[in-house]
Amino acid sequence: MEYEILTGNIIGDEGVLTTEELARACRAEVSWIAELIDVGILAQEGEDPSRWRFCAGDLTCARRAARLQQAFAVNTDALAVMLDLLSEIERLRDRLKRAGLDSEE
């Protein structure tokens, strides 16, 4: 029996991913990451693009953005609207759940 060794990194809320690492994790180009920043989907730490850093939440957001963009073939402006709407739906569902009015029982 042959075993494959997997390695990984734990990513916390401190900015530990570079732009290149984030792009690689999303199977995307660095220019795509810059587009996500331009439309407000991602917020980088650092001013100089060579020193931008991202956290685990940014990785989750970027991967979600990549899946949506691939599934619906939309530009980054439309992608930003989609992500805002999905975030609002999640927020409203949380409010309903806290109020005991959730319909998923």
Domain ranges of the chain: 19-98
- The CATH number that domain 19-98 falls under is 1.10.1660.10
Strand, helix or coil for residue 76: helix
What is the share, in percent, of the chain residues with pLDDT greater than 70? 88
pLDDT exceeds cutoff 90 at 16: no
- At residue 9 the predicted structure's pLDDT band, cuts being 50, 70 and 90, is low
Bridge partners, residue 18, by sequence: 53
Question: Which residues are CB-neighbours of 69 under 8 A, at least 6 positions away?
Answer: 76, 79
Of residues 42 and 7, more confidence is placed in 42
Nearest by Cα to 14 from 63, 56, 43: 56
What pLDDT, on the 0 to 100 scale, is given for residue 97? Answer: 93
- At residue 105 the predicted structure's pLDDT band, cuts being 50, 70 and 90, is low
**pTM of this structure:** 0.79
Q: Which of 1-10, 32-41, 71-80 has the lowest mean pLDDT?
A: 1-10
- Taking phi over 0 as left and psi of -120 to 50 as alpha, with beta for the rest, 3 belongs to beta
Nearest by Cα to 42 from 69, 61, 23: 61
Number of neighbours of residue 65 by Cβ within 10 angstroms: 24
